Amino acid sequence: MTHVFRLLLVTGLLSACSKDDRITVVVYSPHGPDIGKEFEKAFETENPGVDVQYQPLPTADILTRVRGESANPSCDVWWGAPSSTFAIAADEALLEPYRPDWLAHVDEKFHDREDRFAPHFTIPQVIVYNRDRRSADDAPTSWDDLASDAYAGRVVMRNPPPSGSMRGAFSWLVAWKAGNDPANTKAGFDYLRAVHRNTKSYGAIPKELFEAIKRDKDDVVGVWNLADAIFQRDRYEYPFGIAIPAEGVPVVIDCIALVKNDRRSPARAEAAKKYYDFVTSIESGRKLMNGHGRILIRGDVPAEDLPSWHAEYAYEPLPVDATFAATNADAWMSEWEAKVKPLEHGGS
Amino acid sequence: MSRTFRSTYRPSLLVPALAVLLTLVLWPQLRILAQSLTGADGGFSLEHYARFFDFERPANLEAMWNSAWLSVVSVICAAAIGVPLALLVTRVEFPLRGAVASLAVLPLLLPPIVGVLAFKQFLFGEYGIIPRALYETTGIEWHLEGFAGIIVLHAYAFFPLFYLFVAAGQKRLDPALPEAAYSLGASRTRTMFKVTLPLLKPAIAGAGILVLLNAMGSFSGPLFFAPTEEILTLRIANLKESDTAIVTVTSTILAVCAFLLLVPMRRMESGADVVSAAKGQITPAPPSRTIGRVLLGVLAFVLIVALLLPHLSIVLLSFASDRWHADDVMPSAYTLSHYREILSTDTFTRPLINSLQMSSLAAFGNVVIGLVIAFFISRRRQPLGRAVELLAFLPLALPATVIAFNLLKTFSEPSTLTFGRALAGTWLLLPLAYFVRHLPIAVRATQSAIATLDPALIDASESLGAGRWMTFRRVTLPLVLPGVLSGALLCFLAGLSEFVASILIYVPANKPIAIQIYDSFYDGSLGVPAALSVLLLVSQAFIAIAVNRFLRVERAQ
């Protein structure tokens, strides 16, 4: 019996040895672990009393979690989701209003009317191809290419519903094809249906999309956000070429917010705001732009702070009413799941 | 089974155990059932069921159909491997037989998230090693995806259940019966199909139902191989917040199916005991011709490689650089950087400690409650005992997604059952889910330990004047303890591997190791999740060996 008790003792000790008396700030974010780790470390160095726990999650999962945890919120700062997703969370009273000083530098039309979330980056959605397999002259030049016969079975995509990027891209493409006319969304869905027919595969996670573009024998092209495409290319040596259609690109307005929690201690609330201010500061912005492909939405960024590729990948937004796209993004994604996704695809 | 332990049974212990069972197993099911029958206006309504069975929007029906046929095909494929293998290993002597016999259970010990990574990302997926090698050498384009991928994964993961059940059934089989048939002139084939297999029917059916339940509840396979297809467990995970009503219906339907399958399975398992009256055992005989021996040896070798393939691929990938060239079949460069990265920060230690804490807490609960329940069941065969037994085994039948969803929803608001606090979003909910999921393992382990207990020892103790509690503490408990502790070990190891319930209800404060593996893969690396998997497998093996040594010392004392 003594052995058994010794075993229990060891387990008990194990349970006791992970105590930490710093204030915890939990961050849910789709921005990936590299950004997470870098800013966690930088913030903790400046604020040794705070333990940042950065939790990388897909956008849709964050919304699900924040909803499910509303009785006991774990998350303090929700860093990153399209304004359309934040609008849903805000309407369900899951977010805490906060107005950072720098918001004065952001165009009014991107603001939430009650400041329950704040716009942070602009994230353009582009077409990514394999530059080892085709030259830039051979790359798609228009969003219409993805729906054309030439690309039958040669489009790959991230499984759209969980992805903030794909929600943003789809909503803009539908709004664009509909000419911003709510009565004409059929044109938008005709387009999505044609793209779906051409789509060879949907990756369960972004990585599968990148691997397909790199390795697929059929020389496939994919839709992804510019920031991450550049980041993945540099970090994992993916041979990504970037095609920016002349008619313009969907632009996701990526935002940040504090999650509502009435039981949060004042010290923790304070620390959460500090982290929020830290990652949205112009100094952090410089790192985010140059090291991670993000572009700040605020208008007071000095030109010399912009990354070198910014000029190389100059883009125009599609002629889309951003509010029209954002307010319908969720309904359109459900529509796509119910009506388009079940159809045959693969293009052969 | 007529022998009972009346003297050592203490009804007062049953009350808290039953309370736990009712609160954590029965209550969430009933609440979800009630919610599924509550309409938008708050009154009784079948509107959600009407929506579920709506032929205009067939996603739910399609999911039900896909889950059903996938499970049935998985059972057939797993049986096609497991049954012949068990017959072969128990009846025929061939080279490497011992290795095959012990390695055949290996898939059961592979954590689900590790298994699906190995199958889809490393081995058989579109850019996996094997399709690449096949294309480079023969030009044939083949890879696993979609439903086929799920079925192959299930066949690998679940055939050991058939293997174990049939091998155990064989041991209980009276060798005189097939011998009699053979000596009366039946051919070997005829004997096999007319005598042996029918005698093994309870074992095969028992395994079949268990595999069916496992396949129906499978989540990680569909998540990676068929993310855009409609499958019940995926729908629960995807819609759990946005369309809770439909998920309560889905969850209820799955629970009812599971329950209907559980009843005959338990009956078959107890029925299997009747065969055990047999005398003697079948001993493996060498095949009559050398060529047969050689062929079987080659087959055994191939089988061992196939069984170890996922493990080998994980070890290989954990040392491979993440920067693959587009046409590489095998990694082009090797590195220790993944291990260095993991061990230099707390990305491995923190989730591992979380998992160790939660699993040990859950396993401790499993042992205590499992012990009380198993003694209660062993004492009573009347309706109450049966009811408690079914309740204790219900989690075995429920898909983990359903268990997790039901706990999450039941405890998302403060209730008197949880002392006025909401558990959703707290550290505690996940260990509770582990406890519920793995309770049947503990109960069953204790039941088999009790079955081998000699009541004469207890009678002796009592007639020598020891009280009930003294007898339990000094005689009964030490005798069943090794069995109970192996049950605890299984619960603990299962907790360390747990992915399906975890992904639905973990919070940052208790992020388990399986989720860390998923996350690091999601973040774009192959090497880091592979290295994490290797470290997890090594930790599990280390713990299993250490506990087994404890038990051996314990027995020797």
Q: Which of residues 272-331 of A touch B (CB under 8 A)?
A: none
In a domain, B42, yes or no: no
Q: Give the span between the Cα atoms of A286 and A302, in whole angstroms.
A: 10
Give the nearest chain B residue to A345 (CA atoms).
B228
Give me the pLDDT at residue B2, please.
Answer: 40
Q: Which of the four pLDDT bands, split at 50, 70 and 90, describes residue A347?
A: low
**Distance (Å, whole) CA B381 – CA B388:** 10
| Amino acid sitting at position A1 | M
Which token pair is B440? 């049947």
**How many Å lie between the alpha carbon of B228 and the closest alpha carbon of chain A?**
7
Q: Does B414 touch chain A (CB under 8 A)?
A: yes
Is the Cβ pair B353, A53 closer than 8 Å? Answer: no
Who contacts A150 (Cβ-Cβ below 8 Å, separation ≥6)?
A: none
A207 inside 8 A of chain B by CB: yes
Q: Is B452 helix (H, G, I), strand (E, B) or coil?
A: coil
Among B267, B259, B495, B263, CA closest to B395: B259
Structure confidence by residue, pLDDT tens digits, A42-77: 999 999 999 999 988 888 889 988 988 888 898 999
Percent of chain A with pLDDT over 70: 94
| Chain A positions in Cβ-Cβ contact with residue B424 (cut-off 8 Å) | 68-69, 71-72
* CA distance, residue B110 to nearest chain A CA (Å): 22
How many residues are there in chain B?
557
Same fold, A22-122+253-307 and A123-251+311-340: yes
Q: Does B346 touch chain A (CB under 8 A)?
A: no
Q: Are the C-beta atoms of B163 and B85 separated by less than 8 Å? A: yes
Pick the residue from chain A with its C-alpha nearest to B223: A204
Q: How far apart are CA A175 and CA A325, in angstroms?
A: 6
Is B51 inside any structural domain?
no
Interface residue of A1, A62, A205 to substitute, partner B, most B CBs within 10 Å: A205
Determine, yes or no, domain membership for B34. no
Range A105-130 average pLDDT:
92
Q: Across the interface, do A69 and B507 touch by the CB < 8 Å criterion? A: yes
Beta-carbon neighbour count of residue A107 at 10 Å? 10
Contact A292, A254 (CB under 8 A): no
Look at residue A318 and give its three-state secondary structure.
coil
Kindly determine whether residue A71 and residue B550, on different chains, have CB atoms separated by under 8 Å.
no
pTM of structure: 0.87
Query: How large a percentage of chain A has pLDDT more than 90?
Result: 57
Write the DSSP symbol of residue B464: T
Residue A275 has pLDDT above 70, yes or no: yes
Residue B519, in any domain of the structure: yes
Q: Which residue of A has its CA nearest to B121?
A: A208
Q: Does B522 contact A217 at a Cβ distance shorter than 8 Å? A: no
Residue B239 lies in a domain: yes
Over range A227-243, report the average pLDDT: 88
| Homologous superfamily (CATH) for A22-122+253-307 | Periplasmic binding protein-like II (3.40.190.10)
The answer as to whether B53 is a domain residue is no
Q: If you search the block for the tokens 């094809």, which residue do you land on?
A: A177
Considering the four listed CATH numbers 3.40.50.12780, 3.40.50.10490, 3.40.190.10, 3.30.70.20, the one that applies to the domain covering A123-251+311-340 is: 3.40.190.10
Report CB contact under 8 Å: A338, B57.
yes
If pLDDT is split at 50, 70 and 90, which confidence band does A10 have?
Answer: low
- Domain total of chain B: 1
Q: Give chain B positions within 8 Å (CB) of A130.
A: 326
Pairing of strands A240-243, A95-96: unpaired
> Within an 8 Å CB–CB cutoff, is residue B51 touching chain A?
no
Residue B521 to residues A41, A165, B517: CA-CA distances in angstroms?
Answer: 22, 19, 6
Provide the b/e sequence for B243-264 (b: ≥16 CB within 10 Å).
Answer: bbbbbbbbbbbbbebbeebbee
Q: What are the DSSP calls for A174-229, one per residue?
A: HHHHTTT-GGGHHHHHHHHHHHHHHEEEEESSHHHHHHHHHH-TT--EEEEEHHHH
Q: Which of A205, A239, A342 sits opposite B522 (nearest CB)?
A: A205
pLDDT at B459: 85
What span, in angstroms and rounded, lies between the C-alpha atoms of A60 and A71? 19
pLDDT bracket for residue A259 (50, 70, 90): very high
Selection from A320, A289, A319, A317 nearest residue A302 by Cα = A289
Amino acid at B187: S
Q: Is residue B43 part of a domain?
A: no
Q: Do A211 and B508 touch (CB under 8 A)?
A: no
CATH code for the domain in which residue B77 is found:
1.10.3720.10
Torsion sign across C-alpha atoms B537, B521, A289, A162: negative
Q: What is the pLDDT of residue B157?
A: 95
**Domain chopping of chain A, boundaries:** 22-122+253-307, 123-251+311-340
CA–CA–CA angle A106, A109, A115 (5° rounding) = 70
- Domain residues for B532? 13-28+58-556
pLDDT for the residue B381: 63
Interface contact flag, A71 B424, Cβ < 8 Å: yes
Predicted pLDDT of residue B249: 93
Instruction: Name the residue in chain A with its Cα closest to that of B553.
Output: A3
Write down the residue that tokens 């990302």 correspond to.
B121
| A and B: number of Cβ contacts within 8 A | 127
- Spatial CA neighbour of B219 closest among B540, B499, B6: B499
Residue among A15, A68, A211 whose CB faces B412 most closely = A68
Q: Which residue of A has its CA nearest to B352?
A: A14
Q: What residues of A are in contact with residue B554 (Cβ under 8 Å)?
A: 1, 3-4
Contact: B521, A71; criterion CB under 8 Å: no
| CA A268 to each of CA A54, A254, A255, A262, A298: distance values in angstroms, whole numbers, following the listed order | 15, 25, 21, 12, 27
Inform me whether the C-beta atom of residue B68 falls under 8 Å from chain A C-beta atoms.
no
B-contacting residues in A 172-201 (Cβ below 8 Å) = 201
Asked if A64 and B509 come within 8 Å (Cβ–Cβ), the reply is no
Q: Which residue of B has its CA nearest to A5?
A: B550
Is residue A348 pLDDT above 60, yes or no? no
Chain B hits for A76, Cβ within 8 Å: none
d(CA B483, CA B195): 34
Residues A310-336: what's their mean pLDDT? 89
What pLDDT score does B154 carry? 96
| Radius of gyration of chain A from its Cα atoms, rounded to whole angstroms | 22
**Which among A202, A215, A232 has CB closest to B228?**
A202
| Residue pLDDT tens, chain B, 557 long | 344 444 445 567 788 888 999 999 999 999 999 999 998 888 899 999 998 998 877 888 999 999 999 999 999 999 999 999 999 998 888 889 989 998 998 998 899 999 999 999 899 988 889 998 998 899 898 999 899 999 999 999 999 999 999 988 887 777 788 888 888 888 888 888 888 888 888 889 889 999 999 999 999 999 999 988 899 999 888 887 778 888 999 999 988 888 888 888 777 766 554 444 555 667 788 877 888 889 999 999 999 999 999 999 999 999 998 877 777 888 888 999 999 989 888 878 899 999 999 999 999 999 999 999 998 888 766 688 888 888 999 998 889 999 999 998 888 877 777 777 778 788 999 999 999 999 999 998 998 888 888 888 888 888 888 887 888 888 888 888 888 888 999 999 999 999 999 998 998 889 999 999 998 888 778 899 999 999 999 999 999 888 888 877 766 66
**Residues of B in Cβ contact (< 8 Å) with A203:** 227
Q: Which of residues 228-257 of A touch B (CB under 8 A)?
A: 232, 235-237, 239
For chain A, the average pLDDT equals 89
Contact between A338 and B223 using a beta-carbon 8 Å cutoff: no
